[in-house]
Amino acid sequence: MAAQASPRATTETAKAWANTDFRSELPNVTVPTLIIHGDDDQIVPIETSSEQSSKEIRDNKYVVIKGGSHGLFVTHKEQLNSYLLDFLRQ
């Protein structure tokens, strides 16, 4: 997906993700939130992302997909879609 975006936008987005600590903002999320993460994600560690988010965002549903990598929408699309649809139906 990033290959289709402008190179400058992709670079600046990566810099923002790498250099901005958004944790203080998590308690400000006030809508029902679905957090899905694969436990085999080698790009974004689950311990420093989803696990922390699930503790700080109120009214969340946290799902860990066993064996899931960073590209859940490709590797575990049926499971991912099922969780998304169930969440949206609530």
Q: Where are the domains of the chain?
A: 28-89
Nearest 5 degrees, angle CA 28-CA 84-CA 58?
A: 20
Q: pLDDT (tens digit, 9 = 90+) per residue, 18-53?
A: 899 989 999 999 999 999 999 999 999 999 899 999
pLDDT for residue 71: 94
Instruction: Write the pLDDT tens digit of every residue in 53-63.
Output: 999 999 999 99
Query: What pairing do the DSSP bridges indicate for beta strands 33-38 and 60-65?
Result: parallel
| pTM for this predicted structure | 0.82
Q: What is the pLDDT of residues 61-85, one digit of tens each?
A: 999 999 999 999 999 999 999 999 9
Token digits for 86?
Answer: 């169930």
